[in-house]
Chains A and B, each alone.
Chain A
Amino acid sequence: MTLSSPSMRRAIAITAACVTVAGLAACGRGDDSSSGSSSGGEKAVGVSLITKDSTNPFFVAMQKGAKEDASKNNVKLTVASGKQEGDDAGQITAIEDSIARGDKGILITPMSTGVNAAIKKARDAGLYVIALDTPPDPANTVDITFATDNREAGKLDGQWAAATLAGKAATIALLDLFDDKIVSVDYNRDQGFLEGMGIDVADPKKNGDEAKTGKYTGGQGGDYTIVCNEAGQGAEDGGRTAMEKCLAKNPNINLVYTINEPTAVGANGALKAAGKTATIVSVDGGCAGVSSVKSGVIGATAQQYPLKMATLGMEAIAKVARGGEKPATTSGLDFFNTGVALITDKPAEGVKSITSDEGLKICWGN
């Protein structure tokens, strides 16, 4: 087929016409965006928020908060994520997109060590990278991490539980996250809880190596028994199964620590089915979890602030990009602490807390 054949010429003409039309349409968009950024006075700072997925309520809250806050800092925010937990390639692509876009910084909840190389590439290209929620491994892969002090969160639970027991014996079930892998959020919350109770934790980075019986020193102090360390995978069904195993070992459990609120709800189901009651403490502070405190299912929960992680991180990047100071780690910690508050409707003496109504105003998710 030669160029001179009528059908080919027609095809070329149509192609040219369509390209022109598409170009004009795109041209309009281009003008919009350039006038938008120049009218603000100083140039908008490009920031990418890259989460693990876009369905976990924790990440949804993060994305939503960041989007709402972007204009305040004159930030041009782009939101991306892996398609699902484990999608390293999705995060790597998002990081590269951000570099190409000329962003000044990245906020990321790193999927795994599989994205470390891409993060390094971004930092080499001059982007300021902040990890949110969990520090990467190794922590110095990023410039800084903005996260909840999970140990402190657990500690608040423990202190409240000890004070609430008022000297009574504590028969404890510990419902952890995993039993087949060790992650920092898991041992920090669990060990923090025991520390708050005033129980010697032996290795502070290891769940389940404490003495099974002894004295706790929190509150008025008293005897304690640890019945079990069971993994609930952070989910309701897992929490229920884990609690059933614990109750089978000792039906007199009166204090249950849970890694998060879905686990707590599952544990409550198991207790109810067994006709037992126990005080449940948890960590997370999602709106559903705070409602569980209000309805009495959970005694107290330590609330974390994903929204704050994203907004403070975004502020920090905007500041660095405009030549300001880099954020510093909270003293005594290797990350920037975004805060935690204990939520309970039965405040205990000596433990600072807020009510569930106050908690509902600042909770995340639905």
Chain B
Amino acid sequence: MSDTVESAAAEFARRQHSPLQKVQHQLHGKPWLSPLFLLLVAFVAFFIATPTFLTATSMGILLQQTAVVACLAVGQTLVILTAGIDLSVGAIMVLSMMVMASLAQDGGMPGILALLLGFVLATAAGALNGFLVTRVNLPPFIVTLGTLSIFTAIALLYSGGSSIQAEHLPRILNILGEGFSIGDFRLTWGIVVVVIVYIVIGFVLAQTAWGRYVYAVGDDPESARLSGVPSKRILLGVYTVAGLIYGIAAWVLIGRAGAATPNAVPDANLQSITAVVIGGTSLFGGRGRLIGTAIGALIVQTLQFGLSQMGVDQQWRVLATGVLVIVAVAVDQWIRKVKA
């Protein structure tokens, strides 16, 4: 139904707006179009610039490098859609990962049980965030800033700061590092799991009442409440589901890194937020699509990987990412002005 409204607005606009404004309208309806465009440009540019970029081997590696952050970014997208922010994504992932690994190794627990307990812990950690946001009424930024430190410290205390090699773990815990090859193109089970997470959560967001409520709460909490949306329950649910997703990311990470190490991805928070923002999800909540997040995560990694293939030094790659974020948010702001 909202699609009809959008195109009606576009029809109206066509008669009196400039071409640029028409693009603006187009992007407003499909906020993931501009990141997709960026991704295409990057692919073409890198393909021409370096012979090692668009090979089957490279594409497999690129996907593997993207998987963990792309998974975290699903949870981050849910939270940001509600106009929140989650600074504890990396901390929950690492805590869950260390607990999975040490339960299986030192605790001698069957792998599958250790894995499930890791998921339960991550879900509980997410629920704690949700509880503090909805019941204690603290801003998400403050809540997750606090739990970031708490979960990180617990992970370090619990693991004693030492890492566990994946080869010492039951196969179920590091199976996501394995996979299959089509020629030189290597797809790990980790990538498959992340794609499934995207499909499931993407479906829930787009097709269920719960999904519509998530958007409503983020767009305008007051009118959502007035129209009978159980805002607090939705918010609690969002943080809890996000926690579970970070637990799944922990599983993907063990397979990818070949080890469970505390402090494994120190900038996971910023990377996940970057992917969401570049993917066209509004930091002010209520607008965005999961497909955009997937593209956003791919763009960041493609930029890093492509520049690296060209032999560009790391500082320049980091700088390029920074520019990209600012451009992406500037475009987002411009698109949002369409209604004004």
Contacts and interface: CB of A to CB of B under 8 A. Distances in A.
Interface of A: 1, 6-8, 10-11, 14-15, 18-19, 22-23, 25-27, 29-30, 33, 46, 54, 76-81, 83-84, 86-90, 92-94, 96-97, 99-102, 112-114, 116-118
A10 B261 contact: no
Given A8-B26, A86-B266, A114 B261 contact: yes
B287 interface: no
Contacts of B46: 26
Given A26-B48, A30-B49, A80-B308, A1 B25 contact: no
A93 B65 contact: yes
Contacts of A90: 266
Contact of A100 (B44, B167, B309, B312): B309
Interface string B102-144: 0000000000000000000000000000000000000000000
B45 A100 contact: no
Given A89-B264, A114-B258, 18 more contacts: A6-B22, A11-B26, A18-B41, A22-B44, A29-B49, A33-B49, A76-B311, A78-B308, A78-B313, A86-B261, A94-B308, A97-B308, A99-B57, A101-B308, A101-B311, A116-B259, A117-B257, A118-B257
Given A10-B22, A99-B61, A23 B313 contact: no
A118 B266 CA distance: 18
Given A11-B23, A14-B23, A114-B257, A30 B61 contact: no
Most central of A76, A79, A93, A94 by chain B CB within 10 Å: A93
Main secondary structure of the interface of A (DSSP, over half): helix
Interface in B130-186: 163, 165-167, 177
B37 interface: yes
8 contacts: A8-B26, A11-B23, A11-B33, A25-B45, A30-B50, A78-B313, A88-B264, A97-B61
B259 A113 contact: yes
A80 B314 contact: yes
Nearest to B25: A7
Contacts, number: 137
A15 to B, nearest CB: 6
Interface string B245-268: 000000000001111010111110
Interface string B45-58: 11011101001011
Contacts of A54: 314-315
Most central of A18, A26, A30, A46 by chain B CB within 10 Å: A26
Most central of B14, B33, B264, B315 by chain A CB within 10 Å: B264
The 6 closest A-B CB pairs, nearest first, are: A117-B258, A114-B261, A86-B263, A26-B45, A97-B308, A7-B22
B14 A6 contact: yes
A99 B309 CA distance: 10
B333 interface: no
A18 B23 CA distance: 14
B19 interface: yes
A14 B163 CA distance: 50
Contact of B259 (A22, A30, A93, A114): A114
Nearest to B10: A7
Contacts of A89: 68, 257, 264-266
A54 B317 CA distance: 14
Nearest to A77: B311
Nearest to A80: B314
B45 A23 contact: yes
B223 interface: no
A268 B175 CA distance: 54
B40 interface: yes
B308 to A, nearest CB: 4
Contact of B19 (A10, A94, A118): A10
B258 to A, nearest CB: 3
B163 A114 contact: yes
A100 B40 contact: no
Contacts of A83: 266-267
A26 B48 CA distance: 6
Nearest to A18: B41
Interface string B284-321: 00000000000000000000110011111111000000
B29 interface: yes
B155 to A, nearest CB: 12
Contacts of A114: 163, 257-259, 261, 264
A205 to B, nearest CB: 19
B16 to A, nearest CB: 13
Nearest to B36: A15
